[in-house]
Amino acid sequence: MSTTRLPELLKKSKPQILEEWLRQQLASSGARADLIKDGELRKQSESFLDQLQRSVQSGESADIKTAAWAPTLELLGDLTRQRERMGFSPSETATFIFSLKEPLLLQVRTNLKGEPEAVIDESMGISSLLDKLGLYTTEVYQASREEVIRRQQEELLELSTPVVKMWDGIVALPLIGTLDSARTSVVMESLLQRIVETGSEIAIIDITGVPTVDTLVAQHLLKTVAAARLMGADCIISGIRPQIAQTMVHLAIDLSAVTTKATMAEALKSALLRTGHRVVKEGGAKA
């Protein structure tokens, strides 16, 4: 329902609306004096009221998806993301909008006294408008949180897939945790990039920290091995524990085309021999 007289009310009573709105915000259960100062709260409230007035003057107060509302939604989105980063909860963030309802309705009753039908129409329109704006803050807040989580997951994946240069021509990739499709992509990209940077001929993929190896995990490993071969590097898979070996045999997983070793130490020794190095104990005895 269109609140056709809202622009007039905002123009006439904006100072009173602002003061009552600030009072409502500071008195609400969602007030966070520890996160935002009164001066900053006033500044944000004034900016939003000014932008709200410009949007409702377009006459499209019933539909916030129109172009006239784009600046208001942009401002509200910025305020929401800022509060999310500051530590406000979703309900505390939405209170910024919902606490504006009572000050506006108070001015409707005051300025439209003697027009009961107009009071009802304007009140319903204002409630609907602020409900939409409040819901918008919740959507923006949720999207912001999901973006943070997604970014953290990507960072964790990168941290959990370090490619280490073990020797000239040899790199190692110790894997810890479950190897799924998303992580395989990161693993492959990190390994191939490191192979190019170091000019390595051999890559050791250590799965000691991988809890289980099933058909899917084995396929991911074989994809990584194949990608490394295309870059001119051979792969050695180490960390094949007895229980993993039994599982692979039971699942008929064929790793015959890949060199496997029980430990990282054995894999490194094999890699050194392949690159023309001899591993000897101190004193000259061959290891």
Looking at the domain assignment, is residue 285 inside a domain? no
Q: What is the pLDDT of residues 271-287, one digit of tens each?
A: 999 888 877 777 655 55
- In the chain, alpha helices (H): 6-27, 38-56, 70-86, 90-98, 101-111, 116-159, 181-198, 215-230, 242-250, 264-274
Q: What is the pLDDT of residues 29-56, one digit of tens each?
A: 667 888 889 999 999 999 999 999 999 8
Looking at the domain assignment, is residue 279 inside a domain? no
Please, which residues have CB within 8 angstroms of residue 83's CB and are 6 or more apart in sequence? 35, 36, 92, 93, 96, 141
**What confidence score (pLDDT) does residue 58 get?**
78
Within 13 Å and on the Cβ side, how many CA atoms surround 134? Answer: 16
Looking at the domain assignment, is residue 169 inside a domain? yes
Task: Take residue 236 and report the two structure tokens written for it.
Answer: 């050695």
95: domain range?
Answer: 6-156
98 shares its domain with 57? yes
Domain with 92 in it: what CATH number? Answer: 1.10.490
90 shares its domain with 205? no
Which pLDDT band holds residue 3 (cuts at 50, 70, 90)?
very low
Give the count of domains, the chain: 2
Question: Are 119 and 68 a contacting pair, CB within 8 Å?
Answer: no
133 shares its domain with 39? yes
Q: What is the dihedral of CA 210, 212, 218, 224, to 10 degrees?
A: -10
